[in-house]
Structure 1
């Protein structure tokens, strides 16, 4: 059988492919896909061309002979085309900040070195030419040094740097057996190289999806911390804000926090249990979206009062001698990062990693309240998603990789560390120090305070925060009446520009304002007082004003019955006010 040899050129290099008389264009594609090791699920993303300028595409025809198109010694070209939309994949919208940074080169300017540069002021040499945003060796030498490159700098590195010849494609780590393999019985009776997930070697992630966390003003966290100050119990909240470009690192991103939402939770001095599912989550998130905000992270306290007189709180975490995040907290952070994905055009799944951040409020080495920011690595998030990792019982800084069972196959996970002789050794992750999973990032307050919502000093008695009935703060029409008395009519928009008040308005079950709330939210977003005053004339607000004038005795208050003692409690309480039995939500 006559054999014809052609060359196929791609961004990854050139390879020879044998073509026979019996080959069709379809089988030619199959050969080339195999030669370049292109995954079967992504083969529709690649197209062959007869010319380098992509003017003459080669079809996938099963009837046309390949030798009718190509001849011995020809060069054809393989290029990646736009991915075909798949409704089963999770394709969301990329954040605006990613689109903004993608247009920038990210080059780091350097001044002329008076000792090393021997050219004129307008010249450039190796000592002063701009440096790429992903040059980590240079970033570590500057003052202050930069430990991680930004995610968009990482994309530049893949696209333009040392891997210039590689395809820019981001792949999410898979820790599960690929379903549908027909070459053997299902696990645990069989497994093969095609369906078995690869062995995982944990590496320190060189980039961060978010490089800085900035609270718009100190009042945001002061309100959050007041719960701990009044009760002594820990607290969890969700951070709502936006992502913006951050100039502290080349092509960096910062999470700007405008408000904190406190979901239903049961708290003690040493623990927090979220009451899931949160019945108001969908309404709160929808409201935030209309205000131009999104959930950018979560925050929790780990504070103990210091009775020794050294400071305000005890210091027992947050450095190399203690721990940064516990394994429980790493797993929870991984859960949230999987829930709040970072959408990316460069991933076949439609997403890669997450911008969701973790903020810990704890005591520093000076026994003062301190804020620490973290993310977990993409490897950690994948291990959490595929249920491969669990916490240890008594050592917070250690996690544990599950072992395979008849119900589930778990791939081997390894990490590298130095032994007592300073030799690098590989160990299986049972147990696993969580420091291999953590990325730290600074959390601070804006130098010039800004306010998406009203300033706290506008009202001596701010509107109560949601889900705080256990410390005597209730969101109801009585509290709304007291709050509104502090604002004259011409400052209606200032009164409404309160995140927690808006939550009450959209979640209360007495007066529905869903049909008109968009007008108010748009007025607050654009700070349009006239538009807010127009909303104040709607029937919905008139009904609310009626309750404020007449009193709230006519308002129906929903109740729930304790399953232990049958006492009827108001809906705002999360535990029985008679016997303290936790509420069980159906």
Structure 2
């Protein structure tokens, strides 16, 4: 029997190996290890398969001839089994909305065209067959302002071939030298094609991970903007909410904002600097998680009062004649998007991109306060992660790619634009217009307001202070807690606790440690279980807090009277018992 040629496909490419009639599977494995230069210590992490799904294993056996399983011209796959295990670790972290949308086909249905369709009402033809969700040209015909497809529509496009999802692997861009190359001295003394990152050509991203940002109600941003109204200083905060399906585009995702947390920051009339080492960050994220909320983005103001006396603001950004995001803001957005990753099963890294959004509050063309939503592209997040992107000194809309140094190799980055003769030319990204890095998305308010917290409570006259607002004399302390709790009778304890800023204050306060009991309270708020909230108010921890209030009285109660019949505590203004209707004696 003559020797055979076997094709082996791997992440390093496709190679061809000779298979002799008497070769065992074990000896063939050794040939493959040698051809792909796999380190001996990693032999157990690589295996041969008949399929990419790793369901049909080719055993590493010395007792079986390879020719019994393999024939001339066969294509087999040399795959790293460890990377599959790493991917599995992230699958449980996929957002529920991703799991839900992955089950849908997203097809855009079309009705029967009375002029072009010549079939019956139950038939279909080329003029009325459903359209794929990633058909951008058709989406533009429906809505001329459409510029992007959704991320899940983009996934459907990758999975649309005859092989379906077998070759759908989302790869994260790498801008650093691959470590561990033994064929030359380390940089700057040597570099080769195997460890050198590829040249990057910037392209405008044609899909987005989030398609819309919506605030549940207007009170959320009104409270946020009050800091600017009182001080004239800019302000930033983190958006906490959830992701839900968005019908504006096929398979779309919307970020719904329920609260804004304001971290420690340094502010002025023209700038804001967030303290990235917030000591309370972990506990705030923990409270949000119990509430079923995620950190879905960040928001910052860029508002300058107009001196005309009309109560309007200046317009100097947000259109083609100005700029959308500055290079500094793009880098900050990239930092946050790298921190809050989008976990997916379709990447060997376990993640790809981010659903973290950026919202800018600025003046529009009518000089009114306006909200604009953005993300930066996955190429931008990679450049930020690997410290390749820096701002320019004097032009906000221009960024700059670092030069390579002895300490860091930076790949060449190019972008394409049209010159004065309308010819497309390629330029190196020094400097770089940041519009190549930006993905815009609409930011709006719910048509029918929704209230996750107590903003709509009829008892609420003054909200609990927002954190880190000492500059405008808004302090979170027990005195503020007493004044806040006076608005709520005991039986409305759940209403009182349904405030995100109050819950984070209780979780982070240093006076009374609530670590062991705060989860029960937050779960009661999430499930809107008033009875559980009242039971929590009877804990020793809450009693300790009440003793810190003025005169040692229970500051969680307004003036009340007890019914002689059923012992229910009623508001002082009530003339009959709210429980049994017995007149007040």
Structure 1 residues 109-148: aligned runs within 5 Å:
109-148=109-148
Alignment of 1:508-519 (within 5 A): 508-519=509-520
Query: Residue 24 of structure 2 contacts residue 63 of structure 2 at CA under 8 Å; is this kept in 1?
Result: yes
The alpha-carbon distance between structure 1 residues 312 and 212, as it changes in their structure 2 partners (threshold 3 A), is same
Q: Residue 313 of structure 1 corresponds to which residue in structure 2?
A: 313
1:134-533 aligned within 5 A? 134-161=134-161, 164=164, 167-309=167-309, 312-456=312-456, 458-533=459-534
8 A Cα contact 1:170 1:346, kept in partner: yes
CA offsets, 1:423-478, max 9 Å, x none? 11110000000000000000001111111101255421111110001110001111
8 Å Cα contact 1:157/1:163 also seen in 2: no
Contact preservation (8 Å) 1:487, 1:495: yes
Could you tell me how far apart the structure 2 residues matched to 1:38 and 1:343 are?
Answer: 29
CA contact (8 A) 1:311 1:367 kept: no
Distance 2:43 2:445 in 1: 45
Asked whether the 8 Å contact 2:217–2:451 carries over to 1, the reply is: yes
1:87/1:443 Cα in 2 relative to 1: closer, same or farther (>3 Å)? closer
Aligned 8 A contact 1:139 1:145 in 2: no
Aligned counterparts of 1:467 and 1:109: Cα–Cα separation in 2: 50
**Counterpart Cα distance in 2 of 1:289 and 1:188:** 45
2:575 aligns with: none
Residue number in structure 2 paired with 1:571: none
Supply the distance in 2 between the matched residues of 1:298 and 1:268 (Cα, whole angstroms).
18
Give the superposition deviation at 1:141.
1.5
Answer yes or no: is the 8 Å Cα contact 1:391–1:399 preserved in 2. Answer: yes
Compute the displacement of 1:39 (Å). Answer: 13
1:273 Cα offset (Å): 1.5
**Could you tell me which residue of structure 2 aligns to residue 537 of structure 1?**
538
Q: Which residue of 1 aligns with 2:564?
A: none
The range that moved more, 426-435 or 537-546, is: 537-546
Q: Could you state the TM-score of these two structures normalised by the residue count of structure 2?
A: 0.87
Q: What is the DSSP-based 3-state SS (H/G/I as helix, E as strand, rest coil) of the residue aligned with 2:85?
A: coil
Gap change, CA 1:75 and 1:255, over 3 Å in 2:
same
Cα deviation for residue 3 of structure 1 reads 2.3
When residues 9 and 85 of structure 1 are mapped into structure 2, their CA distance, relative to the original with a 3 A threshold, is closer
Cα distance in 2, alignment partners of residues 427 and 504 from structure 1: 51
Work out the CA distance in 2 between the residues paired with 1:2 and 1:207.
Answer: 52
Partners of 1:438 and 1:26 in 2: CA distance: 51
Q: Secondary structure at the match of 2:260?
A: strand
Any idea what the Cα deviations from partners look like across 1:385-411, whole Å, max 9, x if unmatched?
Answer: 000010001100000000000111000
By how many angstroms is 1:546 displaced? 1.7
CA–CA distance in structure 1, aligned partners of residues 385 and 497 of structure 2: 39
Q: Residues 37, 135 of structure 1: CA spacing in aligned structure 2 closer, same or farther, 3 A cutoff? A: farther
| Counterparts in 2 of 1:15 and 1:391: CA distance versus 1, 3 Å | closer
Q: CA deviation at 1:519?
A: 1.2
Q: Is the 8 A contact 1:177 1:197 kept in 2?
A: yes
Q: What is the distance in 1 between the residues matched to 2:156 and 2:257? A: 27
Q: What 5-or-longer segments of structure 2 have no aligned partner? A: 554-585
Determine the structure 1 residue equivalent to 2:579: none
Shift of 1:26: 5.1
Counterparts of 1:69-84 in structure 2, within 5 Å, are 69-71=69-71, 73=72, 75=74, 78=77, 83-84=83-84
Give per-residue Cα distances to partners, 1:180-202, cap 9 Å, x unaligned: 11111111011111110000001
1:292 partner SS: coil
C-alpha distance in 1 between matches for 2:187 and 2:15: 37
CA distance in 2, matches of 1:520, 1:159: 45
For 1:545-584, what aligned pairs fall within 5 Å after superposition? 545-550=546-551
The Cα shift of 1:516 comes to 1.2
- Check whether the contact 1:478–1:551 (CA below 8 A) recurs between aligned residues: no
C-alpha distance after superposition, 1:539-583 (max 9, x if no partner): 11111122224269xxxxxxxxxxxxxxxxxxxxxxxxxxxxxxx
Q: Deviations over 1:162-182 (max 9, x none)?
A: 985861111100000011111
CA contact (8 A) 1:335 1:385 kept: yes
- Using the TM superposition, give the Cα deviation of residue 524 of structure 1 relative to its aligned residue in structure 2, in angstroms: 0.4
Cα deviation, 1:316-368, whole Å, max 9, x if unaligned, reads 00000000000000000000000000011111111110000000000000000
Q: Quote the Cα distance in structure 1 between the aligned partners of 2:85 and 2:29.
A: 21
* Cross-structure match for 1:557: none
Deviation at 1:308, TM superposition (A): 2.3
Which SS does the other structure have where 2:435 is aligned?
helix
Confirm or deny: 8 A CA contact 2:299 2:359 kept in the other structure. Answer: yes
The structure-2 alpha-carbon separation of the partners of 1:206 and 1:43, relative to structure 1 and needing over 3 Å to count, comes to: farther
Task: Note closer, same or farther for the CA distance 1:68–1:206 as it changes in structure 2 (3 Å cut).
Answer: same
Secondary structure, in 3 states, of the residue corresponding to 1:427?
Answer: strand
Deviation at 1:138, TM superposition (A): 1.0
Distance 2:328 2:456 in 1: 34
Do the aligned partners of 1:171 and 1:347 also contact (CA within 8 Å) in 2?
yes
Mapped to 1, the partners of 2:96 and 2:295 lie a distance apart of 15
Q: CA deviation at 1:17?
A: 5.2
Aligned length: 549
Aligned pair in 2 of structure 1 residues 88, 140: CA closer, same or farther (>3 Å)? closer
Conserved 8 A contact 1:456-1:462: no
